[in-house]
Every structure is written in structure tokens, then in C-alpha cells.
Amino acid sequence: MSSPDSNLLSINTATVRAQWSLPEIVAGCARRGIGRVAPWRDQVAATGLKESAQRIRDAGLALSGYCRGGMFPALDRGGRRAALDDNKRAVDEALSLSAPCLVLVVGGLPKDSAGRPASKDLASAREMVRDGIGELLEYARPAGMPLAIEPLHPMYAADRACVNTISHANDLCDELGAGVGIAVDVYHVWWDPALRSEIERAGGHSGRLLAFHICDWLVPTTDLLLDRGMMGDGVIDIPLIRSWMESAGYRGAHEVEIFSAGNWWKKDPDEVLITCIERHRTVC
């Protein structure tokens, strides 16, 4: 494999969120010659939507995606309606920011008011996800904002996303039609024996490959959520998966998304960016 095009590197703002505000991240990326970012809604809200869009534009940055919509399942109709309304606002924000897609973390089992799982009916949660994306599509499709379903690792099936394989995401895309695609994050899907064939299925004529997220799986992993590794520090064969993405026609960004409470979130954020640039060039 040849080194990836450095122009394709993008920084998901979660990677340095513990150290920097969104304006600081935008300035830091511009300073280091990184041309793309993927901001999170809470960071945009803290800065203000207009100012966020302005700063990103003024810095000459493009977005690789907007994080995130989703969380569709809820115990009652009112809860699902509230989720849909919030997702519509996320679509509006993504449009204001000129994002190429809105990433969807679809949600797990319905929760009670304290945030605890209030159901064991996984099949029903998956139906709520399908219905929720379908309803959101009626809003997002005419607005021209692609929705990117992000299959999450099966260890998040209960509390974050009950779509856990690209196969399942492809099935949803088959059912829901135009306007919805897939965000492939190596952290979530690297283990899947069907990964190559499902990337192929999502690519080419299907045109569903909307985003490519990179980081690494550490051994041991000490926390289910906040112990992701820097590319090269774990066991994922990133160049191999990138080659499958490229064979399937993907030409978009390589977005670094690292949640790392114990390590990268404690480092000088400028050093983190330098490391992202270096590792992207050498091990991705």
C-alpha cells in the first residue's frame, strides 16, 4: 500500500475535545495544515452555529461529517417524536455547516427517565431505528443532506446503537432507498468476517460509503468507551481496510476519531494533531 493522501486527513473534534474548544480545534488544524474536521453538536452549540460555520469557513476547512444524529428508540410515541424533531435540527445544522453527511448513531434499547435500559426487546428497538431513519429521510432527502448510518461495535448494542454490522446497515439502506448511506469506522467493524464483502456491497454503484473513520483497537482495552487507540498502537490492519474502501470506490476523508480519557485526552492537543498527521502517513 502507498501512503494515503495527506489531504484526506480529517480530525473528528472528539479527538481533542478534552483540551480544546471548537474554535481552538479549528485554529489548531488550520495551523498544522489539516484541511478537514468533523465537529460534534455540543461543541457547535457551545460556540454557536453561525460562529462555528464562520470560523470553519474562514480557516479554509471542509467538513468530513457532522456528529451526530440518531438515538431513535424510545419507550413511547412522544419520546420517538422528540428524537425525530431533534434529528431534524441536526440536519439543519449540518446544512448550515456544509457537512457532506450527518452521521447517525442510531441508539440502543429504549431508556427510562434515568437513562437505564427499559426494555430487552432488541428486535423492536431495531424496528424503531428503521422507522426513525425512514421518517428523518423524508426531511433530509429533499434538503439534500445524506444520512450516514454508523454501525457501532456489538459491545454498544444495548446503550448506543443496535445496528452493529455493515451488513445490517446495508439491509437498512436497501429498505430505505436513496439519501442514506454508511459511515465505516474501523474500530467498530474490524473484527467482522463479512467486512470486505459488505464494503463491496456498500460501494460502487450503491454509492453508500459516506465516511471512513480511523483509530485503533488496543490490547488490552481497559474501558468500553474511552480507551480507543491512536492508529498504529493496536491490532487493526488499517491499510487493508482502506484498500477495501478504495476498491469499492471510496475517495473521501480519513477521519481520526479517538476517545481516550486515560491517554490522548491528557496530552498537549498540538502534539496529538502532529501524531495524527504522522501516523496517518506511516501506518494507515
Cell of 88: 431534524
CB of 206 to a second copy, least distance (A): 20
Q: Nearest-CA neighbor of 110 among 150, 82, 138?
A: 82
Of 63 and 133, the one with the shorter C-beta distance to a second copy is: 133
Binding residue count for a second copy, defined by CB under 8 A: 33
The residue from 41, 153, 228, 279 that contacts a second copy (CB under 8 A) is 153
Facing residues of 148 across strands? 103, 181
Residue 251 CB neighbour total at 10 angstroms: 10
The Cα–Cα gap between 200 and 206 comes to 9
From the list 122, 226, 261, 277, which residue makes contact with a second copy (rule: CB under 8 A)?
Answer: 122
Strands of the sheet containing 209-214, edge to edge, are 62-63, 36-38, 9-12, 254-256, 209-214, 180-185, 147-149, 102-105, 66-70
- Residue list 75-114, contact with a second copy (CB under 8 A): 109
Q: Is 191 in the site for a second copy (CB under 8 A)?
A: yes
Scanning 20-28, 49-57, 72-80, 185-193 for contacts with a second copy by CB under 8 A, the matching segment is 185-193
44 or 162: whose CB is closer to a second copy? Answer: 162
Q: Distance (Å, rounded) from C-alpha 175 to C-alpha 185?
A: 22
Provide the mask over 154-173, with x wherever binding to a second copy is found by CB under 8 A and - wherever it is not. xx-xxx--x-xx-xx-----
Which of 126, 201, 228, 280 binds a second copy (CB under 8 A)? It is: 126
Residues contacting 209, CB < 8 A, separation 6+:
181, 182, 184, 199, 202, 203, 245, 248, 249, 250, 252
Secondary element (H or E) of residue 103? strand 102-105
Determine, following the binding rule CB under 8 A, whether residue 192 of this chain makes contact with a second copy.
Answer: yes
Of residues 213 through 252, those in contact with a second copy by CB under 8 A are 217, 219-222, 224, 234-237, 240
Asked if 66 touches a second copy (CB under 8 A), the answer is: no
Q: Contacting a second copy (CB under 8 A), which of 2, 120, 142, 144?
A: 120
Nearer to a second copy, 66 or 156 (CB): 156
Per CB under 8 A, 116 contacts a second copy: yes
Residue 138 half-sphere exposure toward CB, CA atoms < 13 A: 7
Nearer to a second copy, 95 or 122 (CB): 122
Question: Which stretches of the chain bind a second copy, using CB under 8 A?
Answer: 109, 116-117, 120-122, 126, 153-155, 157-159, 162, 164-165, 167-168, 190-193, 217, 219-222, 224, 234-237, 240
